[in-house]
Amino acid sequence: GAVVSQHPSRVICKSGTSVKIECRSLDFQATTMFWYRQFPKKSLMLMATSNEGSKATYEQGVEKDKFLINHASLTLSTLTVTSAHPEDSSFYICSAPSARGYTFGSGTRLTVV
């Protein structure tokens, strides 16, 4: 139980386009979703916290207009990287609190060319 399905696992996009990453809680309700980013050889950094039905809370230094987060239902949260640039290339992971603790998606490797 307590599975978070994250898609896509890998995506390559052209500079200037937008990319949407989805995280779905398959067998539990995720009222909160944490979105992380990981740079090579660096720690996972919390970008924002989304709560179902309300605006996301962004960490300092994270551009809310660039990283659009929507948490429209108890089972779906999305992160859209708008007008992507090569420096947005990174590994993005979502996580939701569950009865087992924190349940993580498998991550999305974004490459912007």
Between the two ends of the chain, the Cα-to-Cα distance in Å is: 37
Question: What is d(CA 89, CA 9) in angstroms, rounded to the nearest whole number?
Answer: 13
Q: Candidates 55, 64, 85, 100: give the one binding other proteins (CB under 8 A).
A: 100
**Closer CB to other proteins, residue 4 or residue 69?**
4
Q: Give backbone dihedrals phi and psi of 56, rounded to 5 degrees, phi first.
A: -75, 155
Return the closest-CA partner of residue 49 out of 95, 100, 6: 95
**Closer CB to other proteins, residue 60 or residue 65?**
60
**Closer CB to other proteins, residue 45 or residue 68?**
45
Segment near other proteins (CB under 8 A); pick from 12-20, 37-45, 72-80, 81-89: 37-45
The yes or no reply on residue 77 touching other proteins (CB under 8 A) is no
